[in-house]
A and B are shown apart, each in its own frame.
Chain A
Amino acid sequence: MPNRSPDRARVKSRAALLRAGFEQAGAALVEAPVLVSAEALLDLYGEDLRARAYTTFDALRGEQMLRPDFTVPVVQMHMEGGAEPARYTYAGEVFRRQEEDEARSNEYIQVGFEIFDGSDPEAADAEVFARLQHAVSPLGLKATTGDIGILMAAVEGLNTTEARKRALRRHLWRPARFKQLLDRFAGRTPQPAGRAALLAQADPFACAGPEIGLRARAEVEARLEALRADAAAAPIPETEVELLEAILKVRETLPYALEQLRDIAVDLRPISGAVERLARRAETLAARGVDVDALEFEAAYGRTHMEYYDGFVFGFVVEHRPDLPAVASGGRYDALTRELGRAAGKPEGIPAVGGILRPGLMVELEDGLWA
């Protein structure tokens, strides 16, 4: 494949310039190793990460990955003794496996900006968005925003068992599985074939084999108990399911989206808090000079991206070019800091929001390579 990439030196100097801009905004410059422990990453993101990241191995350290992003090493570093509040910036290569599309880079430079500060989360959201928007403003990109927190609040507010909510929460980032579960919990689709028969058996273990493996008989019994409880639970009321689906369909400019969500919140009170946070974010965005009247909001945006974005999410893309990756993107990842904080004795985590820019793509767009 011919190398269409602009001169690497230009990309690096652009990266340095962008990073300097974040330093001027008070961010401390941080570095991260290229090789990061595979264990922590895989525990966090699961096996799917192997399809996106390069894994390498040596006999001493075991599996390591070429960093697929900076977020995890930066959060780890912060959790091990960063003062709070904190803001960080970085620039460097990240590595992504591209097995489906040869045209996509498997190595490119990211410049990032991250804020760890719980004092005013909506203001931090707005600041990250506004600074990244400013950086890409000459490129005429299309911005889309979303808020996973609203969907999470809606699941939390359903009138159903804790086990069902947990199952829905777990699959929030897998829309097909989420819908399948929701339909089943709402009684729209029947229970899986054979389940009623299994639960009706006097001795479900009559034909079971010997006890082998780490998953003990007691765990099987516990799940049978959970299945019995689930079979006895009332379906989630149809009205609530429809409201949840209405949320997922919201796709408007921000003021109209807010109006629609407030209407839904009248009938689904538990999302009110999250919707008002969205309203406050819109105000702080406007105060930072963002044209919120023209800003797109999709309630389902970011659902198929990486897990752990659990609040505000955004992306800047080249319009009508879905084949190109986002030039800038980011979001809030409080849950990730809780996961990684556990290892560092800080299970409470810290509210965190950040975003990345791709200077290589920016330079290519300026050169008209993708016109």
Chain B
Amino acid sequence: MSANADTHSHDDHGHHHKETFVTKYIFSQDHKMIAKQYLITGILMGVVGVLMSILMRMQIAWPEQPNALFEALLGKWAPDGVMDADIYLALVTIHGTIMVFFVLTAGLSGTFSNLLIPLQIGARDMASGFLNMVSYWLFFTSSVIMISSFFVEFGPAAAGWTIYPPLSALPMAQGGSGMGMTLWLVSMAIFIASSLLGSLNYVVTVLNLRTKGMSMTRLPLTIWAFFVTAIIGVVSFPVLLAAVLLLIMDRSFGTSFFLSDIFIQGEVLHYQGGSPVLFEHLFWFLGHPEVYIVLLPALGISSEVIATNSRKPIFGYRAMVMSILAIAFLSTIVWGHHMFVSGMNPFLGSVFTFTTLLIAIPSAVKAFNYITTLWKGNLQMNPAMLFSIGLVSTFITGGLTGIILGDSALDINVHDTYFVVAHFHLVMGISALYGFFAGVYHWFPKMFGRMMNKNLGYLHFWVTAICAYGVFFPMHFIGMAGLPRRYYTNTNFPLFDDLANTNVIITMFAIVGAIFQFVFLYNFFASIFFGKKAEQNPWRSNTLEWTTPVEHIHGNWPGELPHVHRWSYDYSKPGHEEDFVPQNVPLYDGEEELQH
């Protein structure tokens, strides 16, 4: 049954050097510890990011009204408790940056790629434990720098998470474009270095360190997702790094890559010949693939969780892999749909409309495959399963409106309105967050050897699910009324007065939803210490990580690495007593491996 049954007792992996507190918990090179470091840093950054969104929502619902919470948290930026317009934009910017990069890229991908890649492919550790450690500490450094930008004189970057120049390039255009923007750029440059080290490590590990029998077609979909995500990251993150470096040059060394013909505060600046549109191209060449860097790991996690808890093979394994590859390829040639009204050639708009709407096809295939996996299953409603089903639901709801936004003719009208905010929060924010929660609930026993409380998990899911729709569903309609995003207050437009009540309702849902995340935080941190001790394979899953001992050991498996004899989705396979057959169980005489 378990990996230990057929092992010989020799140690050839040479990992048994003495560990001190520092090498075990701080500068650890063990992928499981690094995964936990990513997870906890990601959660802390998530708390900060969500708190910012609540401050913004309160400002939108009760504009320019004094609020004790503002006064307490924002200090000098909320004189007499009234939020300043500059800090509102700073909150918009840093909320976006933190959630997209620090929580849903590093927190999600960093945690689960690190934890699962070696465990699910049957490797002792990542290809390079040292690079992995450096990757985490670069991420940590960039987090500290990003947060520290709240403590500089004119506040953090406030040009939106897309930091389009010239707004981001000129300190005189905006308070946040001074020191705050410098810190943002430095932080992101370090973050990108971290992300690249991590991604290279994931790619190399998946290609080289698969255990005997683990062919690419036997990989769990989680690994496919992490693998392809890492490739997208390696291809597209360097382009953002280039944009960041060029912007630093423009800001600090007088070059004109993105700037030309500017008159501001009574003087003409020397910049000549650059173009902000060039920056937009460079930014979105990462920016759009980034959506899939965020989303694919979540989809991989939900594939695994849905199959395990449906007690059924994932439907259409090959189609799932093909659609991941198709999405990855298409994601690199659609960036222009963020720029339909940027002033680029309208013919490019046509091309990007075409490629963008193509992405709907693999996405639809994935959604239908998830639904078919549920069909005639024996669904075990663990919290991870609920979050995975929730993910499919928000992925569909949010994804469908992409048909409107990806269509250049329609985008003219809803571009940069709340319609966009609703769309991307559902399809990448909430969906990826659900994937993150699903992963935490599912692999918590593997990470900490204890179980999370399921009833708190149910409470957490249902309140979150209702609030997520309560916040973002009506927001589509506000956008359809033409309300632009990133407005500090809408009170200067009587035209939008009839949307004020809806904004209050949305804020209420947001506040309740945010408060109930404390249920998760409590459950998470309390369960680390007081949770029920976990069994070796609590969800009766097929993948290799559940064949390792509950107590973590360096090198993952005592003795020899497990050999793989089948794919990871032999759930409820006829001819087997149990409703699951782990990957290391050999085929019995006459058993056929499914051709997929």
- A and B found bound together: no
* Chain B interface residues toward A at CB < 8 A: none
* Chain A interface residues toward B at CB < 8 A: none
